A and B are shown apart, each in its own frame.
Chain A
Amino acid sequence: MNNLRQQFPILSQKINGQPLVYFDNAATAQKPQAVLDAINDFYTKYNSNVHRSFNPLGEKATQLYEEARQKVAQFINAKSAPEIIFTSGTTESINLVAQAWGQRNLKKGDRVVISIAEHHSNFVPWLQLKEEVGIEIDVIPLSNDYKLDIKKARTLLQQNNVKLLAITGCSNVLGEITNLQPLLDEARERGIVTLVDAAQLIAHEKIDVQKLGCDFLAFSGHKLFGPTGIGVLYARKELLEQMPAWQGGGEMIQEVHQDSFTVNELPHRFEAGTPNIAGAVGLGAAIDFVMENFDIIKKREQELTEYFLEKINQLDFIKLVGGQESKNRAPVFSFTIDGVHPHDAADILGERGIILRAGHHCAQPLHESLSLEATLRASLSFYNTTEEIDKFFKELTLVYKKFQ
Chain B
Amino acid sequence: MDLYSQNIIDHYKNPRNRGRLKDGNLAHNEANYSCGDKLSVDLKVENEVIKVFKFTGGGCAISQAAMSILGESIKNKSIDEILELNFSNIKKMLGVPISERRLKCALLGLMTIQNALLKKQGKEMKKWTDYIEE
Interface residues of A (CB under 8 A from B): 339-341, 343-344, 347-348, 359-360, 373-374, 402-403
Contacts A339-B13, A347-B102, A403-B13 known; list 11 others, CB within 8 Å: A340-B61, A343-B59, A344-B61, A344-B62, A359-B36, A360-B36, A402-B4, A402-B9, A403-B9, A403-B12, A403-B61
Known A-B contacts A402-B9, A403-B9, A403-B13; A344 and B4 likewise in contact (beta carbons under 8 Å): yes
Asked if residues B60 and A344 are in contact (CB atoms below 8 Å), the reply is yes
Chain A residues positioned under 8 Å from B3 (CB to CB): 347-348
How far, in angstroms, from A359 to B102 measured CA to CA in the complex?
14
Give the most central of A343, A359, A403: most B CB within 10 Å. Answer: A343
Interface residues of B (CB under 8 A from A): 3-4, 9, 12-13, 35-37, 58-62, 101-102, 105
Q: Which of B4, B9, B36, B101 contacts A374 (CB 8 A)?
A: B36
Chain B residues positioned under 8 Å from A339 (CB to CB): 13
Asked if residues B59 and A341 are in contact (CB atoms below 8 Å), the reply is yes
How far, in angstroms, from A340 to B62 measured CA to CA in the complex?
11
CB distance from B115 to the nearest CB of A (A): 22
What are 19 sample pairs from A and B whose C-beta atoms fall under 8 A apart?
A339-B13, A340-B61, A341-B59, A341-B60, A341-B61, A343-B35, A343-B60, A344-B60, A344-B61, A344-B62, A347-B101, A347-B102, A348-B4, A373-B36, A373-B59, A374-B36, A402-B4, A403-B12, A403-B13
Chain B residues positioned under 8 Å from A359 (CB to CB): 35-36
Chain B residues positioned under 8 Å from A344 (CB to CB): 4, 60-62
CB distance from A343 to the nearest CB of B (A): 4
Chain B residues positioned under 8 Å from A403 (CB to CB): 9, 12-13, 61
Residue of A nearest to B59 (CB): A341
Residue of A nearest to B101 (CB): A347
How far, in angstroms, from A373 to B63 measured CA to CA in the complex?
15
Chain B residues positioned under 8 Å from A373 (CB to CB): 36, 58-59
CB distance from B103 to the nearest CB of A (A): 12
Chain B residues positioned under 8 Å from A374 (CB to CB): 35-36
Residue of B nearest to A350 (CB): B101
Residue of A nearest to B62 (CB): A344
CB distance from A111 to the nearest CB of B (A): 30
How far, in angstroms, from A403 to B61 measured CA to CA in the complex?
10
CB distance from A356 to the nearest CB of B (A): 13
CB distance from B1 to the nearest CB of A (A): 12
